[in-house]
Amino acid sequence: MKVLVTGVKGQLGFDVVNELTERGIEAVGVDIDQMDITDAASVDKVIKEAGPDAVIHCAAYTAVDAAQENEESCRRVNAEGTQNIANVCKELDIKMLYISTDYVFSGEGERPWEPEDACDPKSVYGQTKYEGELAVKNTLDKYFIVRIAWVFGVNGKNFIKTMLNLAKTHDTIRVVNDQFGSPTYTYDLAKLLADMVQTEKYGVYHATNEGVCSWYEFACEIFRKAKVQVNVIPVSTKEYGAKAPRPHNSRMSKEKLTENGFERLPSWQDALERFLKKIS
């Protein structure tokens, strides 16, 4: 099997290529230098030349606050770029696995979101990722949509690295305590995606590490496990302030993974511990 992976310079794309390669699956990793997903001709040429059996599409515009002021750029990447890839996958009759996000939901309530729940994005980022989902669903039959949240990996910027860096220069750190979700370690997720792409169990899935916490609880656990002394102060989303609305509820139901015979990801605490060892 041969798989083309977009966004190879990002934390997820990087881990997906490594995981596929480790399993002896031929992986072709591309980033904007090799394939600009907003350019339909570039997408057409690169995918056809690679001749893959599947595309795992990790590349995205993920700067949530910046997206509020750069709606056009964000849409070009997340919606139109995804449509460009879907069109070529349809023409070649190959599988497509699209990485989406908890931001497609309203972020309200407390119960975990099910894959089939109605989408109601509240930010430009969420809206454009939802448009990407629709592009995939309306173009293809052979697709997987995998929604993830609170992503961290070795190869990129993420909340854990930000917290550890802040602790070097601050005695006190303010972290929101009214947004709840599950962190996702790209190393663990990559294993699931490599399993999934080899099947025909198409559809929409949620995949985060097991367990739920607030960002504040996540931060406290990071410092505890990293043995870093810092005063963490819980604040509300309103007090913290941000350009783009943030989901208060990013809990995601992973039952569908179990129902389809996929292995769920380990607990976020376990993932955090392994991640900290890897970056130390």
Domain boundaries, given as residue ranges, for the chain: 2-158+182-211+251-266
Report, as an integer, the average pLDDT of 242-252.
Answer: 95
Q: How confident is the model at residue 242 (pLDDT cuts 50, 70, 90)?
A: confident
**pLDDT over 90 (residue 202):** yes
Q: Which amino acid is at 71?
A: E
pTM > 0.75: yes or no: yes
Calculate Rg over the CA atoms of the chain.
18
Q: How confident is the model at residue 258 (pLDDT cuts 50, 70, 90)?
A: very high
Please report, for residues 7, 8, 74, 222, the alpha-carbon distance to residue 156 in angstroms, rounded to integers and kept in the order given: 11, 11, 19, 17
Q: Which of 61, 98, 103, 125 is catalytic?
A: 125
**pLDDT over 90 (residue 241):** no
Q: Which amino acid is at 263?
A: E
Please report, for residues 112, 113, 115, 134, 187, the alpha-carbon distance to residue 108 in angstroms, rounded to integers and kept in the order given: 10, 10, 15, 22, 29
5-35 per-position pLDDT tens digit: 999 999 999 999 999 999 999 999 999 999 9
Report, as an integer, the average pLDDT of 152-163.
Answer: 96
Dihedral of alpha carbons 68, 73, 75, 79, sign: negative
Report, as an integer, the average pLDDT of 225-229.
Answer: 98
Report, as an integer, the average pLDDT of 163-174.
Answer: 97
Among 101-110, 175-184, 221-230, 236-245, whose mean pLDDT is lowest?
236-245
Task: Tell me the average pLDDT of the chain.
Answer: 98
Is 125 an annotated catalytic residue? yes
Under CATH, domain 2-158+182-211+251-266 is a member of which superfamily?
A: NAD(P)-binding Rossmann-like Domain (3.40.50.720)
Question: Which parts of the chain are beta strand (E)?
Answer: 2-6, 26-30, 54-57, 95-101, 143-148, 151-152, 172-176, 180-181, 184-185, 203-206, 213-214, 231-235, 249-250
Strands 203-206, 172-176: parallel, antiparallel or unpaired by DSSP? unpaired
